[in-house]
Structure 1
Amino acid sequence: MSTGSHAIGRLILQLRRLERQPRTFGEGGALTPSEIHTIDAIGSEGSMLMSELAKRLGVTKGAVTQVIARLHEKELVDRVHDPDDFRVILVSLSEKGKSSFQAHRELHEKFYQDLYAQFDPKEIEIFEACVDKLVAYLQP
């Protein structure tokens, strides 16, 4: 196996480790990766249908329902019935949820600023092209 293969393997393992650790974002307290990714998906839209949220996250409606229940209990999301169809639930971020959404966005911005400070523009261009190819290769 080549050194590149080992480097990619180490990168994947490190990303998996990061994805398992709860972190604190704003006023939301400790949030799991699935919780903050759900907050991020809702925050980019304002409010959305539970079914749209499941599709965006690539998970089942049952999985989204469980995460939303936890986030609602933590007072990070609001659930309301769609005025046009009472069977449909719309989810949106509470003020506390918006704080977590913003803190998550700021963390990502700082991460990218710090990362890009390590590379010159040509290295960034090559890195982004390599990541795009790796992501495309890993798509099911």
Structure 2
Amino acid sequence: MQIQRLEKQPRTFGKAGPLTPSEIHTIDAIGTEGGVLMSELADRLQVTKGAVTQIILRLEEKHLVKRTPNPEDSRSIIVSLTEVGKSAFRAHEEMHLDFYRELSSQLNEQEIEIFEICLEKLCTHLQK
């Protein structure tokens, strides 16, 4: 239940303001290296193209992403992060690093190994 509550809570990442988990995970899936095709983004997030379009619309309203026509194929769109979107991406990365630092300071090496095995099994189960 705690995880379900956390998955619904917006959090602030850098100058981006409050973002839902689906918004920050979309930003994370886009990444900072450049743009990604909308169809590829849907695949990365394992959601429909329609769902990605809705999230991208919200992120555009917040000035976190921009859409540009694909110069190689006019039927497709490339999504990339704005500077504020990149700031949110970095803040999200830093939050994860802080979590891992905190976790490793509280667990010994054997506990970390067990934790990683449990996470791997959980992820495998959830992908079924």
| TM band (smaller chain) | over 0.9
Moved over 4 A (4+): none
Q: CA deviation at 1:85?
A: 1.3
Task: Give the structure-1-normalised TM-score.
Answer: 0.87
**Aligned residues with identical type, % of pairs:** 63
Give the Cα–Cα distance (whole angstroms) in 2 for the partners of residues 138 and 69 of structure 1: 28
- Tell me the residue number matched to 1:65: 53
Q: Deviations over 1:70-123 (max 9, x none)?
A: 101110001000111111100000001000000000001001110111100111
CA radius of gyration, larger in: 1
Task: Give the structure-2-normalised TM-score.
Answer: 0.95
Establish whether residue 111 from structure 1 lines up as the match of residue 96 from structure 2.
Answer: no
Q: Deviations over 1:46-89 (max 9, x none)?
A: 21000000010010000000000110111000100011111110
Establish whether residue 35 from structure 1 lines up as the match of residue 23 from structure 2.
Answer: yes
- Tell me the residue number matched to 1:21: 9
Give the 3-state SS of the residue equivalent to 2:106 in structure 1: coil
Give the Cα–Cα distance (whole angstroms) in 2 for the partners of residues 46 and 118 of structure 1: 37
- Tell me the residue number matched to 1:78: 66
Structure 1 stretches lacking a partner, 5+ long: 1-12
Give the Cα–Cα distance (whole angstroms) in 1 for the partners of residues 51 and 33 of structure 2: 20
Which amino acid in 2 is paired with 1:87? R
Q: Deviations over 1:1-23 (max 9, x none)?
A: xxxxxxxxxxxx21111110001
